[in-house]
Structure 1
Amino acid sequence: MSENTTTVTDNDTNAQVAAVGTLEHLDPHTLELETNVRDDAALDADFVASIKEHGVLNPIAAVRGHDGVVRVRAGQRRTLAAREAGLTSVPVYVRPAGATDDKAQVVERVSEQIVENDRRRELTEAQRARGIQQMLDAGASVTKVAKKLSIGRDTVKSVATAAGSQAAMEALDAGQLSLSEAAVLSEFDDDPDAIMRLLEVAGTNRFEHRVAEIRQDRAAQQAYQEAAASYTEQGYTVVEDFPAYGDTTCVELRYLRTPEGEAATDEHVTDPAHWAVCLTEVEGYVDTETGEPVDAHDIDWHARFSATVAEGKHDPSSVTEVVVWEADWLCTDYAAAGLVLCDSLAKRVEALAREDSDHHADDSSDQDAEAREAAAAEAARRERRKVIALNKLGEAAQQVRRQFITDKILARKTAPKGAAMFVASCLTRDVRLIEEHHGGQISAELLGASDSTAVTKMVAELPATGDGRAQVITLALVLGALEARTGKDAWRGSGWGHYVGAAELLRFLADNGYPLADIERVILGEQTADALYDSLTEQSEPAEDD
């Protein structure tokens, strides 16, 4: 039964044929689907949910054949979704069949189906975001908007976040990034350099890694500024790098002596007017419970591989690694500070002042030794900077990697393809794997549990049909143990003595869709640590003016 509500005239492009159509409300189950050039309707749950929530908003286009049957010409997805959603009435714009012979009908049907699909223009991400924001501004809750649009709550929240960022909305307008990426971009509104770095990888699988790396950089920079402030507040000058050897306007404390020839010490750093400080980031440890500093030599690192801790030593699991800013003093006026240069530096300065070639020749061996010492010191500083920089990348990658394991691997009802072979290979090659490194706690965290006891309960509560999920939990135990062996410094090859470790973990994850970070490629031998560090230093150097 139909209800004719509107009569319209449909002209062809040459204005020669006029066909009267009617807008009718019909049961989608009574409609017959014509052959369609879209050979895969590809219905998805979100589309069906949208049809169930709103009904069919755009009328389905159909023709009524000479036999009286209404056949869908454009709108097969809407028809199928309406059936699946349980609708009993949908709007249908029905026209009489135009062509009379079979071949003409095919030409008419196919041309209309192609044109109907080709002439659509999807909303841009920016337009969609502004529309969602209008709904939120009108008082709709996140939950209501998500239901109305059949999208996730997280997507709505992303829009609410991105809409407040001019940079994010401009990037959306330009089609440079997705809604979820735009929400992240808004976090860095006050940092044009960070925004540029993120836009470089928007739309790629490098985006999450870049976000984690930038967050690490910002945290380190904030820590540096706080450390520097503690010295500037006392009147000291903070410099970013060490002076060149022989620069008497800024001399390292180790090259200074008292008038009596004794080595200068921190006790001689008294007047801030004569001193500067260079802060170097180093790794230190504190007791996790008390916060008290712990010397690295007082930690029983062997306890990572056994259940016992040496007497008088700290268990590695009881300490937390922290950043410590080590101060190196530089004297900007050693004479005013009551100090003198060490003999080797004094001779070098005197020789340069006199421009005495003979003296240069006589002292060439001393100067060569000094040059070697200075070069060695700089090489040591570079190596220390490299370790710090690459460890930060390792820590950033760890955050992204563990989130991937939780969301993409362990949230499944069944283990991914190849998981059983992977678990069997790891456990048969290294039978003590899940007993070491306190990996049980990491496994629990990856599963969203508080501790190993909670994981045990998780298994005990599985139904008799829970074999699939049980395999996922078993995989979690292996992944957690391997994660425990994949510290932020795993790029240094610190897995000596292990049969399985970081490399096996990364290869398994990569095979399951995980995008490797550059630092993880170093672990796999696809890139060298020095090459990666050199690329980082090149990126951080300011561009030269043309």
Structure 2
Amino acid sequence: MTDNAHTDTTAPELAQQGTIEHLDPNLLEIGDNVRDVAELTKEFVSSIAENGVLVPITGVRSAENLEVVRIRNGQRRTLAAREVGLATVPVYVLPSAAADAAEDLIERVVHQIVTNDQARALTDAQRAKGIQQMIDAGMSVTKVSKKLSVHKDTVKAAQTAAGSQAALEYLDSTQISLTEAAALAEFENDPAAMERLVNVAGTGRFDYTIEQLRIEAASAEALAKEAQKWVERGYTVLDSRPSSWDPTMVPLNHLVRIDAEGTEADATEESVTDPAQWAVLLYEGTALVDKTTGELVNEDDVDWATEDEDDAVPEDGLRHANTVEDRDVFNAEYFCLDYAAAGLAIAQRRARQYFPELVTGEDDDTDAAQAEAQARAEADAQAEADKRERRKVLALNKLGSAAIIVRREFITKLLTRKTAPKGAVGFVADALARDAYMLTGLHADDTAAELLGLKENQPVRTHTKGLDASADARAQVILLGMVLGALEARTGKDAWRNPGIIGGTASWARNVTGGEYLKFLVSQGYTLSPVEEVITGERTSDQVYDEYLAEAQAA
């Protein structure tokens, strides 16, 4: 079969050459344009003011009046040049080959479409590299910001992103922003963390995930340091829980000591005498400790009536509540590597369950034995449930801490407004009508001051002093800040444990609930984190914890 397609090998006819002229932008005739709305952004006008017109405008000299140059491409540059007062702009003046008005229209439209469609913008990665080159050449962030007419934060983000090859690759291959790419650079050595961030890029959960990853990284670092201490003492440190059927890794609570008469006694931590015979699985928990020494403190030894009362005197035999604090600690679960060498044996009840080949003597099928076995099984199940609950509390409290950071950043930005946002005045009125004493709550004023951006230890009243009638709008914003500060102060990292409740349920409570507070923030554009969705009642704590475990497993 023959290909009959005709190939034109003749060279294209060259268009007539134009000339570069420097003309007064006010004398240029803009005329018709395919771009029927010439929007001038603040950044674009600033760029023209700072750098002038770098890319020449194109135009055609009128055949009727040679003094008139009609713009073909560059109406935005022309308008901006007029606005900032440029005396002249470069114009590439082309001759027109049109024989009539129809040909002139076609020539104009082709020129305007081609010059716009065939232009290709820089990628964010290319822009970041370019900004880094300017900084490397000795230009300050401020000067780069001014020269490029972009915010200084954008320049800083570009500088950070340019220092990470992985961040630049994500910029090129995904839809993440320059600011998000800069955040990725912090986790360049953790591909799983970077992937988690990319998965939520462009959503309200991006900042929350950053804080969550930072907290997780801090926990991992603390765990590594704690593990090293155990290794130095001679223990084997496990990365995960071993199988219950492994006779070379038997949990301490499955072991017993057997006396000369054959009586079993449960093994305790006192049985752990030789580190070489034991492995440990470390897990985080919380404990009450002395603020100064870090030593464990029994909560019954504390006079809790003195909490937040520095001058209060504790009762005899008790200590002041302000001398202690809850602190994250690491607990160890012991597993014996060689129980025989350790002088221990596997309890017969455990042997029947996990190691039937080690059972000695005849099975006791009496009702009492079966009842005891059932009771122990239920106790084991409850112990595992309690263990899960403790770990869930610790995990979700960390998620709560991450949410607090992001939430307060959002509120702080919201309160920079000159006028209260829509719906705010009604929310404030309802909150104060139901709970007039909220503003006197613990840390309410301090939190409000923080959210309003006041200096440390500066009360809100210093911000309202001297406000006159012309400041009514800003005063409403300050009042909103006081109410949000009061609600935020009592929405701690563990607020998820009482979902939707601060003093009662939403249907009848006098006090504003945590769910109502968060839903107001949502109405202002805030995106809830998973743990905050527990507070609003949209999810359960177990659902969020299971999701947390799945993410950890995937990482």
TM-score category, normalised to shorter length: 0.7 to 0.9
Rounded Cα–Cα distance in structure 2 between residues aligned with 1:55 and 1:372: 80
Q: Give the drift of 1:323.
A: 0.9
CA displacement, residues 116-168 of structure 1 (integer Å, 9 cap, x when unaligned): 22221100011111111111122212222111111122222222222221111
Aligned partner of 2:283 in structure 1 is 280
Aligned partner of 2:53 in structure 1 is 56
Q: 1:347 to 1:188 in 2, by over 3 A?
A: closer
Whether the aligned pair in 2 keeps the contact of 1:125 and 1:175 (CA below 8 Å) is: no
Q: Which runs of 5+ in 2 are unaligned?
A: 1-10, 505-510
Aligned partner of 2:428 in structure 1 is 423
Q: Give the drift of 1:25.
A: 1.9
Rounded Cα–Cα distance in structure 1 between residues aligned with 2:371 and 2:246: 20
Which amino acid in the other structure matches residue 150 of structure 1?
S
Q: Give the drift of 1:421.
A: 1.4
Identical positions, percent: 49
Q: Give the drift of 1:515.
A: 2.0
Whether the aligned pair in 2 keeps the contact of 1:246 and 1:348 (CA below 8 Å) is: no
Aligned partner of 1:353 in structure 2 is 358
Rounded Cα–Cα distance in structure 2 between residues aligned with 1:373 and 1:329: 19
Q: Give the drift of 1:287.
A: 6.0
Q: Give the drift of 1:234.
A: 0.5
Q: 1:166 to 1:18 in 2, by over 3 A?
A: closer
Q: Map residues 305-324 of structure 1 onto 2, 5 A cutoff.
A: 311-312=314-315, 320-324=325-329
Classify the secondary structure of the residue corresponding to 1:24.
Answer: strand
Counterpart check, 1:174 vs 2:177: no
Whether the aligned pair in 2 keeps the contact of 1:406 and 1:447 (CA below 8 Å) is: yes
Counterpart check, 1:386 vs 2:353: no
Aligned partner of 2:333 in structure 1 is 328
Rounded Cα–Cα distance in structure 2 between residues aligned with 1:38 and 1:315: 73
Counterpart check, 1:441 vs 2:446: yes
Q: 1:321 to 1:467 in 2, by over 3 A?
A: farther
Rounded Cα–Cα distance in structure 2 between residues aligned with 1:287 and 1:438: 23
Q: Give the drift of 1:314.
A: 8.2
Q: 1:51 to 1:348 in 2, by over 3 A?
A: closer
Rounded Cα–Cα distance in structure 2 between residues aligned with 1:17 and 1:258: 100
Rounded Cα–Cα distance in structure 2 between residues aligned with 1:528 and 1:431: 31
Q: 1:44 aligns with which of 41, 45, 58?
A: 41
Aligned partner of 1:80 in structure 2 is 79
Aligned partner of 1:458 in structure 2 is 463
Q: Give the drift of 1:74.
A: 1.9
Which segment drifts farther, 162-171 or 485-494?
Answer: 485-494
Whether the aligned pair in 2 keeps the contact of 1:246 and 1:345 (CA below 8 Å) is: no
Aligned partner of 1:9 in structure 2 is none
Q: 2:269 aligns with which of 266, 273, 279?
A: 266
Aligned partner of 2:27 in structure 1 is 30
Aligned partner of 1:519 in structure 2 is 531
Rounded Cα–Cα distance in structure 1 between residues aligned with 2:473 and 2:541: 40
Which amino acid in the other structure matches residue 26 of structure 2?
H
Q: 2:542 aligns with which of 493, 514, 530?
A: 530
Aligned partner of 2:372 in structure 1 is 366
Q: Give the drift of 1:69.
A: 3.6
Whether the aligned pair in 2 keeps the contact of 1:245 and 1:374 (CA below 8 Å) is: no
Classify the secondary structure of the residue corresponding to 2:93.
Answer: strand
Classify the secondary structure of the residue corresponding to 2:403.
Answer: helix
Q: 1:349 to 1:64 in 2, by over 3 A?
A: closer
Q: Give the drift of 1:235.
A: 0.6
Whether the aligned pair in 2 keeps the contact of 1:391 and 1:489 (CA below 8 Å) is: yes
CA displacement, residues 480-500 of structure 1 (integer Å, 9 cap, x when unaligned): 111112211222226342521
Aligned partner of 2:404 in structure 1 is 398
Whether the aligned pair in 1 keeps the contact of 2:516 and 2:536 (CA below 8 Å) is: no
Q: 1:507 to 1:367 in 2, by over 3 A?
A: same
Q: 1:197 to 1:347 in 2, by over 3 A?
A: closer
CA displacement, residues 185-237 of structure 1 (integer Å, 9 cap, x when unaligned): 11112112112222222333322122111111111111111222221110112
Whether the aligned pair in 2 keeps the contact of 1:490 and 1:523 (CA below 8 Å) is: yes
Aligned partner of 2:475 in structure 1 is 470
Which segment drifts farther, 455-464 or 166-175?
Answer: 455-464
Rounded Cα–Cα distance in structure 1 between residues aligned with 2:342 and 2:174: 60
Which amino acid in the other structure matches residue 328 of structure 2?
V
Whether the aligned pair in 2 keeps the contact of 1:20 and 1:95 (CA below 8 Å) is: yes
Aligned partner of 1:112 in structure 2 is 111
Counterpart check, 1:491 vs 2:496: yes
Q: 1:464 to 1:241 in 2, by over 3 A?
A: same
Rounded Cα–Cα distance in structure 2 between residues aligned with 1:40 and 1:314: 73
Rounded Cα–Cα distance in structure 1 between residues aligned with 2:202 and 2:80: 30
Which segment drifts farther, 96-105 or 445-454?
Answer: 96-105
Whether the aligned pair in 2 keeps the contact of 1:28 and 1:88 (CA below 8 Å) is: yes
Aligned partner of 1:157 in structure 2 is 156
Rounded Cα–Cα distance in structure 2 between residues aligned with 1:91 and 1:349: 87
TM-score (norm 1): 0.86
Aligned partner of 1:227 in structure 2 is 226
Q: 1:341 to 1:418 in 2, by over 3 A?
A: same
CA displacement, residues 277-318 of structure 1 (integer Å, 9 cap, x when unaligned): 2323112345667766555564749979x9998955888888
Whether the aligned pair in 2 keeps the contact of 1:351 and 1:360 (CA below 8 Å) is: no
Rounded Cα–Cα distance in structure 1 between residues aligned with 2:512 and 2:534: 17
CA RMSD of aligned residues (A): 3.4
Which segment drifts farther, 164-173 or 18-27?
Answer: 18-27
Q: 2:517 aligns with which of 493, 501, 505?
A: 505
Whether the aligned pair in 1 keeps the contact of 2:73 and 2:115 (CA below 8 Å) is: yes
CA displacement, residues 75-103 of structure 1 (integer Å, 9 cap, x when unaligned): 12111211222212112233456556555
Aligned partner of 2:508 in structure 1 is none
Aligned partner of 1:414 in structure 2 is 419
Whether the aligned pair in 2 keeps the contact of 1:486 and 1:501 (CA below 8 Å) is: no
Whether the aligned pair in 1 keeps the contact of 2:244 and 2:354 (CA below 8 Å) is: no
